[in-house]
Amino acid sequence: MTTQTEATNQSTISKDTRIALFIPCYIDMMFPEVGIATLQLLERFGLNVSYPLNQTCCGQPMANSGDEANAAPAELLFVENFKEFDFIIGPAGSCVKQVRCHFDVIDQTDDVKHVRQRTYELVEFLHDILNVDSFPWAEFHHSVAIHNSCSSIRGLGIAKPSEIMGVPFDKTADLLSKVKGLVLTPVDRPDDCCGFGGTFCVTDEAVSARMGLEKAHDHLRHGVEYVVSPDMSCLMHQQGIAQRSGLDLKYIHVAQVLNGGPF
Amino acid sequence: MSNAKQVDPAKAAELFIIHDQIHEPMHDRFLWGTMQRRDAEAAAIPEWEELREIASKIKEHTLTHLDHYLEEFEANATKRGAHVHWALDAAEHNEIVHSILKDHGVKEMIKSKSMLQEECHMTPFLENRGIKVIESDLGERIQQLDGQPPSHIVFPAIHKTRKDVAQLFARTVGTDPNNDDPHLLTEVIRNNARPRFLATGAGMTGGNFAIAETGTFMVCTNEGNADIGASVPPLHIASIGIEKLIPRVEDMGVFLRLLARSAEGSPLTQYSSHFSGPRKGGELHIVLVDNGRSRRLGMADFWHSLKCIRCGACMNTCPVYRRSGGLSYGATYSGPIGVILDPTFDEFKYSELPFHSTLCGSCSDVCPVKIDISDQILKWRRVMAERGYLPLVKRMSFAVAGHVLGHPEEYHAMEKVAAPAMDYAPHFLLYNRSLNPWGRSRELPQIAKQTFRDWYLANRSEHADDEQ
Ligand code: SF4
C-alpha cells in the first residue's frame, strides 16, 4: 500500500522543519548502533535533525506497570525536551506508543498534546510522511523475517493485525522490500506476541521465555537468517533466548538495514 | 481488602509449562488452531468489522437502558408463563434455586454449562444441602469428575489431554485407563448421563441472550445437552446475568453470526435454542442475577466489560493464556476477559492478574463486541498501583527510577557507572533466577562501550557545546 512519490515529500517537510531524534534509554545504553543508523538515515534525506541532550526515558516501564505517579516526571521531562520540534522520531514502536497513547494521565497542556501528535515511529515516518520509495545505498543479501512489535501493529497501526479483517498491509515490509538482495520470509505466526512485554519479561519469566523460544523456532523452521524489527526491545529478548539456546539467528533493527549499517 | 490470598498466575503458569513437554504445547496448538479457523470464518464475511461495530452498539445501547429492557423482559416472560426471580448476588441466586428445587422435592438435578452458576459457586451450595448436581456438558462433566472448575469458558477441559481423560474416567466411571479413543470416551459419558436426564426432577441452563421484546431467551450449545435438560425433566431453571439482555429478536441475527465464528471458528453452534415460556405441563423459572453487575455498570473505565458474550476468542488469541492454562488464573473467568472481570469481585485476591499480560492488544482486536480489553488491563494496573498492590520491589525500583528519569543530570551520571558495573557483576548474580529472572533463559544484552549520546557528542561536534 505504498504511495510512490518523491524520496522526500516537500509539501510536508523542508529544511526548516525542526526534527528531533528520540533515542530510548535502552537503545542509548545497549544499542547505540541503532541510534547512529537512525540519525544517519534521516540525514541522508537532507533533514535537519537534532538530538536533545537532556532526554532520558519516556516513562514506559512505570506507566506500563500502572505506576503513573512515578512515570510522570519522565513524561513531563520528555515533553519539555521535545515540545519545540515539528517532528519527534524514535526508532522504537513501544516507546512511541507510550508517548502517543499513554501520555494521557498527565495534564493535557498544549505542549503535551503537540508532543503526542508529533511523535512518530521511524517506519511510519519514512513510510507515511517522507514517502520514501528507494534506499539506493542499502543492500542486504539475506533471508529476513519481520517482527513488527505488538505496540507497532496494534498501537500505531504499522501493519494490519491478523485478527482484524480487511486488506493486509505492512509498512515495514513495504520499506524492506526496496532493499536490494533482501528476501522477506513469511513465518507461521508473524504477529503472535514474542513475550517481551516490558517488565512482563521478568515478572512472568516462564511464560515470557516460552513465547520467545517458540518465536525463535518459528523463524528457524522457515530458514530465516535475520529477524528485523522496528522495536529493539523485542529483539533484545528474542536474541537473549536464541543465544542461550544456541540457535543460529541474528537480530537487527530495521534502521540498520535501511541505512546499510552500522551492523 | 479481602482476606483471600493473592492469586499468583505467573507461578501457576510456570508450573503448567514445566510440568511436562506435552500439556502446554498441546494447549497452545489447539487454541491457535481455533484462532486460525476463526480468522478464516471471519474473513469469509465481508462485513465482519461492521458486524462487530453493530454488536458493540447494540450492547452499549442495551446496557445504558438496562432498567427499561429488564422490566420489558420480565413482563413478557411472565406473560408467557415463566416465573421471573431477581437475585442481587450469588447468595440470593443460590437460595432462590435451592428453594425452587426444595418446593418440588428435587433431590437430583442435571445442568448444562453456565459460567454464571460457576460464578455463584452454586453446585457446592446445593450439594451441601443434599441435592445432587450433574454436569451434562462433556467438558464440564470432565471437570466436575476431577473436582476442578472449568479452565476455559467455551472448552472447560481444554488443558487436559485424551490420556488425562481416559485416566480420570478409569478412576471415576470405571473405564479402561489405557483406552483413550475419543469416541469411546464420549460414548461412555453420554451413556452415563442419559438415564439421569430421565430420572432427575429438574434441568438447569444458563442463557446466552435474553430478548426483551419477547421475554424469551436463547441457549447456544454444541452437544444438545441443554435442550434435553430443559425438555425432559418437568422443571427448567435458567440463570441469566442481567447483562445478557438484548432488545429485539432481530438483533440475534448480528450476535449469532458473531458468536460461534468467534468462539470456535464455525458458522453456528449446533444448537441455538429459543426458550419461550414453559412447555406444556412443565414449569420454567428464570433467575435474573446482578452479582456485582450493576456496580460494574457504574465504573467509568470498566463497564464495557459487560458487553461480553462469553465467546472465549480473547482467550484463544491470548499468547499468555495459551501458555498458562486457564486454571492458573485461580478464578471463575480466565484469560483476558477474566483479567478485567475478576478484580471486580475481589481487587486484592486478583491484583496480580492484570500483570499477567503483555498488553499485546490482540484480545481487543478479536473481541466480537469490541471491548477495549487491553486498555482495561492497563487501567486495572493503575488501580492496583494506586491501591499499593504492586510488589514491593517494583514499587521501590520505580520510585528510584521515576526520580532519576526525571532528572537528566542524575540519569547521565548513572549511565556512566552502569557499564563498568555490568562488567564486574559476578555471573551468579546475573543468572541467579531469584535475583534476576532475565538471565534464567536468556543471555544478557551487552552494555555498549560508548552510549549513543557520547557518540553523538563526539561525532556531531557542532552540538558538543550544547552539553549541560
Ligand atoms: S471479552 Fe470479547 S472476546 Fe472475550 S469472551 Fe467476551 S466477547 Fe468474547
Residue A56: pLDDT band by 50, 70, 90 thresholds? confident
pLDDT, tens digit, 9 for 90 and up, residues B264-281: 999 999 999 999 999 999
B93 pLDDT exceeds 50? yes
Nearest-CA residue for atom 6 of ligand 1: B308
Beta bridge partners of A227: A145, A251
- Do B385 and A206 make contact, defined as CB atoms within 8 angstroms? no
pLDDT, tens digit, 9 for 90 and up, residues B307-335: 999 999 999 999 999 999 999 999 999 99
Nearest partner of A2 among A127, A184, A120, judged by Cα = A127
B426 pLDDT exceeds 50? no
Euclidean distance between CA atoms B44 and B46, whole angstroms: 6
What 3-state DSSP class applies to B138?
helix
CA distance B457 to chain A (A): 9
Complete edge-to-edge strand list for the sheet that includes strand A183-184:
A183-184, A143-146, A226-229, A250-253
Beta strand B283-289 with B235-241: parallel, antiparallel or unpaired? Answer: parallel
Mean pLDDT of B383-409: 75
What 3-state DSSP class applies to B149?
coil
pLDDT value at position B445? 75
pLDDT value at position A80? 94
pLDDT value at position B396? 60
Residue B395: pLDDT band by 50, 70, 90 thresholds? low
pLDDT, tens digit, 9 for 90 and up, residues A23-37: 998 899 889 999 999
pLDDT, tens digit, 9 for 90 and up, residues A84-130: 999 999 999 999 999 999 999 999 999 999 999 999 999 999 999 99
- Cβ–Cβ contact A90 with B under 8 A: no
pLDDT value at position A11? 54
A10 pLDDT exceeds 50? no
- Cβ–Cβ contact A1 with B under 8 A: no
Amino acid letter, residue B177: P
Beta strand A87-90 with A19-21: parallel, antiparallel or unpaired? Answer: parallel
pLDDT value at position A16? 86
Cα A125 versus chain centre, distance: 11
Mean pLDDT of B397-410: 72
Euclidean distance between CA atoms B148 and B229, whole angstroms: 22
Alpha helices, DSSP H only, in chain A? Answer: 25-30, 32-44, 60-64, 68-82, 93-102, 110-118, 122-124, 150, 171-176, 200-203, 205-221, 232-244, 254-259
CA distance A2 to chain B (A): 23
* Nearest ligand 1 atom to alpha carbon B315: 4
Residue B397: pLDDT band by 50, 70, 90 thresholds? low
Q: Is the peptide bond before B420 cis (omega within 30 degrees of 0)?
A: no
pLDDT, tens digit, 9 for 90 and up, residues B14-50: 999 999 999 999 999 999 999 999 999 999 999 999 9
Mean pLDDT of A138-163: 97
- For ligand 1, whether the C-beta of B335 sits within 6 Å is no
Q: Which residues from B are below 8 Å from A37, CB to CB?
A: none
Residue A5: pLDDT band by 50, 70, 90 thresholds? very low
Euclidean distance between CA atoms A7 and B127, whole angstroms: 74
Euclidean distance between CA atoms B378 and A68, whole angstroms: 11
Mutation site for B-interface testing, chosen from A25, A29, A239 by largest number of B Cβ within 10 Å: A29
The DSSP symbol for A166 reads S
Complex-level ipTM beyond the 0.95 threshold: no
Name the closest residue on chain B to residue A70, using Cα atoms: B402
A136 pLDDT exceeds 90? yes
pLDDT, tens digit, 9 for 90 and up, residues B154-210: 999 999 999 999 999 999 999 999 999 999 999 988 888 888 888 899 999 999 999
Report how far apart, in Å, the C-alpha atoms of B116 and of each of A220, B215, B310, B340, B357 are: 44, 20, 11, 16, 24
Mutation site for A-interface testing, chosen from B452, B453, B466, B467 by largest number of A Cβ within 10 Å: B452
A1 pLDDT exceeds 50? no
Whose grid coordinates read 481416559? B166
Euclidean distance between CA atoms A174 and A115, whole angstroms: 27
pLDDT value at position B76? 98
Answering whether pTM is above 0.90, one says yes
- For ligand 1, whether the C-beta of B308 sits within 6 Å is yes
Euclidean distance between CA atoms B450 and A31, whole angstroms: 10
Q: Give, in degrees to the nearest 5, the angle at Cα A135 between A131 and A136.
A: 135
Q: Is residue A155 within 8 Å of A98, Cβ to Cβ?
A: no
* Nearest ligand 1 atom to alpha carbon B363: 3
pLDDT value at position B392? 63
